[in-house]
Amino acid sequence: MKIQANDPCWCGSGEKYKKCHKEFDLSLINYQKEGFSIIPHKFLKNSTDIEGIRKSGLITRAILDEVKSIIKPGISTEDINTFVHNYTLDNGAIPAPLHYKKFPKSCCTSVNECICHGIPSPKHILKDGDIINVDITSILNGYHSDSSRMYAVGEISESRQKLVDVAKECLMVGLNQVKPFTRLNNIGDAIEEYAKSFNYSVVRDLCGHGIGKQFHEEPEVVHYSQKTKKGLLLIPGMVFTIEPMINEGTYKCKYLNDGWTVLTSDGKMSAQWEHTILVTENGYEILA
């Protein structure tokens, strides 16, 4: 049954529909007529959800801040996992990766040619000159927040530093496209154009994602160009990650038979940074 003017609004505000999201929904119909797709309402976050993800994000960000001080040559990726696991629990949160679709650890540690989903291991010892992505997802009071950063192990080469820097700039370039009532695909268009200007490639097999009470939900956020369609419309209340994986060589991936580890197919370096972001009334807010 279609929602009536005096019904409570679908957003959970407790207001009548006519006083809350009715006008908003009518404006969306016009965008649909122009050829945009609209995300189902159930994926839009209300103020309770947003506050929940924001609080979760504080823990995720604190872990990424703190982990910097333990990363040095000679430690194992398992040491990083132990630190992340304990820090998360000490702060009343749950590490989302642990047992997610059978992932065995509490964070992802992706070194050098590992694109993403590297599994921490006591056998993997970090060496001087390595680059590593640590990807953290915390759950606090049922709300997920997902963010990742790159770290240098000891002294790294100029070319690795450049890749790490440009990958971070790719995330920022994508972020700057986030405005309500514009194309979601502007994000991928801008990231691919920027990466290509340095002769780097953008991974296509893995995408950003909506996030909230679920780890991965709608929308899918591609980081490469999909020029043709209007595609999905950005609207206030959408929360999703942007997490471009930028490669020195080919964008093609190779998969280990552990069910998780994703490597570059040519063995060249890869770098990734990730934020969880909210689409606001006039732009975006970084939640993690």
Q: Which of 79, 135, 189, 192 binds Co ion (CB under 5 A)?
A: 135
Question: Of Co ion, ligand MF3, none, which one sits near residue 117, judging by CB under 5 to 8 A according to partner kind?
Answer: ligand MF3
CB of 84 to Co ion, least distance (A): 12
d(CA 146, CA 136): 6
Of 40, 19, 61, 35, the residue nearest 273 (C-alpha) = 61
Strand (E) or helix (H) holding 245? strand 245-247
Choose one: 41-49, 134-142, 226-234, 252-260; the region binding Co ion (CB under 5 A): 134-142
Half-sphere exposure of 271 (CA within 13 A, CB side): 22
Strand (E) or helix (H) holding 23? helix 22-33
Whether residue 230 contacts residue 173, with contact meaning beta carbons closer than 8 Å, is answered with: no
Choose one: 43-51, 119-127, 143-151, 168-176; the region binding Co ion (CB under 5 A): 143-151
Site of interaction with ligand MF3 (CB under 6 A):
97, 100-101, 103, 108, 117, 135, 137, 146, 241, 243, 260, 274
- Considering beta carbons, is residue 137 or 185 the nearer one to ligand MF3? 137
- Binding residues with Co ion: total (CB under 5 A): 6
d(CA 140, CA 155): 35
Choose one: 45-53, 153-161, 185-193, 234-242; the region binding Co ion (CB under 5 A): 234-242
CB of 255 to Co ion, least distance (A): 18
Please give the residue whose beta carbon sits closest to ligand MF3 in the complex: 97
CB of 133 to ligand MF3, least distance (A): 10
Interface with Co ion includes 146 (CB under 5 A)? yes
CB of 258 to Co ion, least distance (A): 18
d(CA 126, CA 87): 21
CB of 159 to ligand MF3, least distance (A): 25
Of 180, 147, 143, 174, the residue nearest 54 (C-alpha) = 143
- Considering beta carbons, is residue 21 or 144 the nearer one to ligand MF3? 144
Question: Of ligand MF3, Co ion, none, which one sits near residue 181, judging by CB under 5 to 8 A according to partner kind?
Answer: none
CA distances from 170 to 173, 202, 259, 276 (A): 5, 10, 28, 15
Instruction: Count Cβ neighbours within 10 Å for each residue of 220-247 and write b for 16 or more, e otherwise.
Output: ebbbbbeeeeebbbbbbbbbbbbbbbbb
Whether residue 95 contacts residue 137, with contact meaning beta carbons closer than 8 Å, is answered with: yes
As given in the structure block, the two tokens for residue 176 are: 């700057």
- Give the burial class of 83: count Cβ atoms within 10 A of its Cβ; 0-12 exposed, 13-18 middle, 19 or more buried: buried
Whether residue 214 contacts residue 45, with contact meaning beta carbons closer than 8 Å, is answered with: no
- Considering beta carbons, is residue 3 or 286 the nearer one to Co ion? 286
- Considering beta carbons, is residue 54 or 216 the nearer one to ligand MF3? 216
Q: Which of 106, 241, 247, 264 binds Co ion (CB under 5 A)?
A: 241
CB of 63 to ligand MF3, least distance (A): 12
Question: Of Co ion, ligand MF3, none, which one sits near residue 276, judging by CB under 5 to 8 A according to partner kind?
Answer: none
CB of 235 to Co ion, least distance (A): 20
Can you give the binding site for Co ion, defined by CB under 5 A? 135, 146, 148, 241, 243, 274
